[in-house]
Structure 1
Amino acid sequence: MTETPYLNQKFEQLEKGKQIPQNSVPKIQRVAHYLRDRKHFAKHYSPRLVSIGPIHHGAKNLQLGEKYKLMWAASYLERKKQDARALYQKIASNIKQLKELFAEDVIEAFPDDEKLSWMLLVDGCALLQILEEVKIDHPEEMNVNVEQLILLFQDVLLLENQIPYEVLKLLSGPKNDANLLNSVKEFLGYHPDKPKQGAVKQDTGKEKTKDEDSFREELPLHLLDQYRKLLLDDPRRDIHEKHLEVDVSDSYADEAMIIVHRNTRELKAAGIRVKRSNSRRISDVHFSSGWFWAELRLPAIMIDNTAPTASLNLIAYEKCPDFKNNYEICSYQAFMGSLIQHPDDVKELRSVGILHNALGNDEEVAKVYSTLSSSIEVVPNTEIYSHVGLQIEKHYRRKWRTWIARSYDTYFSSPGTIIAFYAAVAALLLTFIQTWCAIKQL
């Protein structure tokens, strides 16, 4: 076989293919085409006001956003009394390492390092201004209206609108790690329990300040990565795990049980009461059961106009091929999708304070979860909530519990039915007394 230049090139590519190293961290990349190409999904992955980073930079429909970014970047530099040229030099001197944090196709439009460095400088400074100065009740401070501010909240959490956290660190300064991370958390709506004032005692007998302790935690890759970390964070997880264990002594534990995910109405009919957990972290889900009733605790969630976009981008992030994770967000949304299949399920969760509906009606919320479920299709990790599903199914199979629960809902679920029940009992008692008296007189 005569090898042509074309074949030589292809054989070389084939040989290099096995040498491609695995990324230690996921690179900033585009949403997978099989997610974006679905009907009505693309709008949730593309920015509507501003582009952050290289993927949507220069888009015609975002030219107003380019003006806003220059204004916000200039405001940041002025507020922090920073020199633009000095900060640009920081980015330019680290551009080789920063480029490694992007997928190759993402920065193809920036063959010139100078242009890429300038874009990261402007977008990074603008994003720092957003993180530190945005206030939902005072949009005028950013020279935008409320509607634009909501779009801004959506845009900065898009998978395709991320820049490396390392850029923000370079622009904010080496001594501001703790302040930067706190600004990110506050912007994302995270309010941790405040530690006691003063220094924190350590096992070594030394003391370290709150700021020193704060930036020792694992830093995020970008803003969306930090948002995911906050949703998964649960410092009380060890306390909850005792509620999640399956009772292996139960006779059903030896069976090969198929877990059937049931909606909220079915759970209620089986005597499983849904209640709110003590936190809003998605890991705070647990099930407990007694003789007659059981309890499923879920974290409180807010559903507003930004919720579908944020959730879909978190799902897309977990599905990035170079992101090694346990698919916690995908699994949680699939689990909630099984609970919410009808507007009445939404109504039930609203009534117990788990779901806060800011969309206007329950049917819209049910549609949101239908959309999220369709974006997941196959749950990559079925083990995360399998223990909860198993316990629910075990409870569900005890038909006598279901009968007691339905009887209770029929006769004791409202003051009217309770009064009617006691009235019927009183009528029977009076009838018995009258009959007994009549027999005695005979």
Structure 2
Amino acid sequence: MAMKRSESEYVMVEMPSNIHDNNMIAMEWVDCLTGKEATERERHIQKVLPLLLKSEKGHRNRECYVPAVVSLGPYHHNRPDLAKAEKYKLTTLEEYRSGTGLTLDALYKKVFKVVHDARKCYDADGSTDAYNDEEFNRMMLHDGCFILFFIECVSCADNRLWLNNEYLGASGFANVVRDLLLLENQIPFVVLDVLMKLRFPDDKGENILNAFFNYLNYGDVIWTDKKVLKYTQQPLHLLELYRSNFISLSAAFAFRSSKASKMSSMVRTQSIEKETRDDYDYVQRSRSFDSVTQLKSRWIFLKCTSDKSRVDMKFKSYRWYGEFKLARRAVSSYTKAIYLNMIAYEMCPHNPNDYRVSTYLRMMKSLITQREDVRELRRNNIMLHSLGSDEEVAKMYDEIDVPAVNLYMFHHIRHEIEKLRPTKYKTWIAELITDYLGSPWKAAGILVGTAILCTSLVQTYIAINPRGR
């Protein structure tokens, strides 16, 4: 029998305290996606979302989120299989300490001044409760010195880099590079900042970071005067800092419908209404476009962006052809793990960002579907790789899952490409160039064959119509 509720009984629902800030939070996300600075908020070093690991590709990529040789921070601390690196950290601690000219006790006290700020950077799930301040500070000190010593050795071509081989084995170098940029293997940048200023005065620490990031991007240590610490607020960790310097995409064109929404509904044209619908049509705006070889058949040619360019991916349409400019990037054995962890960072909740890396990788997945696409990228100096074959590069991009993109960035590039309509004669000429004149040997073969054919025709004509008759 149903129970009758009396008038004095009420259903109580506890509402979140920040319910009135929802509009401001939503606008913060819009600002980030359209290329504006996010407001300063308290952020945490989070773990990989379980949802990213549930898909088929996510399950296969699980190992890409877990450190292989060294744990940094509390999430994977004291793992037995990473014990060798803990012994090696004592060596890097002493090497880095000697470079500062301070005693170990003085170094410890410098880091201890920020230990409470560092502890607050971790996700509020009790991950640091097992460590008192002394233990936590020791962890931060050891891990911070390990990171900065490794980065210094790579950037300065220091022979002490070979200590990795001594303690971690011949494969240690590539695995350390990989482990330094895992989402769950980060320490707060506030710790790195303290240690870096003790070792490198003025801007040398920033130059060291810049050279290391260039090594990751281009496969070579390049010293430039680019400012990597251009934040209005301090980066949360090394992965966030590298992500912000990895690629530069423009969102200035974003959200046409925001202008249209200010107009009266009585005067909106049908085209504006269609654009407004497209702004919210995820499938329409995020669908993929042609691959590299397909674009080439439409007279859309790839070109490497200049080093001075502020945007690393852009499309420019001319009267008869298009030019798709891409930044040069290196691909190595640890690239896949770094890409996946930058995506995982962008997918974290309570973390407004512009999804620039996810958008870039979705575009690259569209461009690269087979080995011929990789070969064309290499030929145009847009990609260099140290994997076994071009097929492995194509397979790597296929294995990367990109759950979300910045629709403003992605749709703009795809829309500009699709506006350049192919014509039959351009397609025929492009196919002739691609299929028959794509290499010097093919071109030479065509010329020789044409010469033989012409000679045969002339000889036949002379034989049929000899002179003097």
Please state which band the TM-score falls in when normalised by the shorter chain.
0.7 to 0.9
- Are 2:289 and 1:269 aligned? no
- Are 2:402 and 1:376 aligned? yes
* CA offset digits 1:257-299 (Å, max 9, x no partner): 9665111221122222223222498942233344444332222
> Aligned with 1:383: secondary structure?
helix
In structure 1, distance between residues paired with 2:16 and 2:231: 40
The equivalent residue for 2:256 is none
Change (3 A) 1:269 1:324: same
In structure 1, distance between residues paired with 2:126 and 2:450: 69
Change (3 A) 1:19 1:91: farther
Q: Is contact 2:44-2:122 (8 Å) kept?
A: yes
- Are 2:139 and 1:124 aligned? no
Change (3 A) 1:214 1:330: closer
- Are 2:46 and 1:29 aligned? yes
In structure 2, distance between residues paired with 1:308 and 1:281: 25
Out of 439, 442, 445, which is 1:416 matched to? 445
Change (3 A) 1:79 1:260: closer
In structure 1, distance between residues paired with 2:310 and 2:453: 46
Per the TM alignment, residue 69 of structure 1 is displaced from its structure 2 partner at its CA by 1.2
Amino acid at match of 2:64: H
In structure 1, distance between residues paired with 2:454 and 2:325: 36
> Aligned with 1:302: secondary structure?
strand
The equivalent residue for 1:312 is 340
Deviates more, 1:172-181 or 1:81-90: 172-181
- Are 2:236 and 1:221 aligned? yes
* CA offset digits 1:7-46 (Å, max 9, x no partner): xxxx797555759998715311111111234322221111
In structure 2, distance between residues paired with 1:280 and 1:153: 27
Q: Is contact 1:69-1:126 (8 Å) kept?
A: yes
* Unaligned residue ranges in structure 2 (runs of 5+): 4-11, 26-39, 216-220, 254-270, 279-283
The equivalent residue for 2:390 is 362
> Aligned with 1:39: secondary structure?
helix
Out of 60, 65, 81, which is 2:80 matched to? 60
Q: Is contact 1:72-1:126 (8 Å) kept?
A: yes
Q: Is contact 2:152-2:158 (8 Å) kept?
A: no
Q: Is contact 2:359-2:405 (8 Å) kept?
A: yes
The equivalent residue for 1:338 is 366
| Normalised TM-score (structure 2) | 0.72
* Unaligned residue ranges in structure 1 (runs of 5+): 2-10, 196-209, 242-252
> Aligned with 1:103: secondary structure?
coil
Q: Kindly report which structure 2 residues correspond to 1:31-430, keeping only aligned pairs within 5 A, or say none.
A: 31-37=48-54, 38-105=58-125, 107-110=127-130, 112-134=132-154, 135=157, 139-142=161-164, 143-144=166-167, 145-173=169-197, 176=201, 178-189=203-214, 194=224, 218=232, 219-233=234-248, 261-279=289-307, 283-372=311-400, 375-377=401-403, 379-409=404-434, 412-413=437-438, 414-421=443-450
Change (3 A) 1:407 1:166: same
Change (3 A) 1:365 1:217: same
Per the TM alignment, residue 419 of structure 1 is displaced from its structure 2 partner at its CA by 4.6
Q: Is contact 1:282-1:332 (8 Å) kept?
A: no
- Two-structure CA RMSD over aligned residues (Å): 3.9
In structure 2, distance between residues paired with 1:63 and 1:330: 34
Per the TM alignment, residue 306 of structure 1 is displaced from its structure 2 partner at its CA by 0.8
Change (3 A) 1:409 1:113: closer
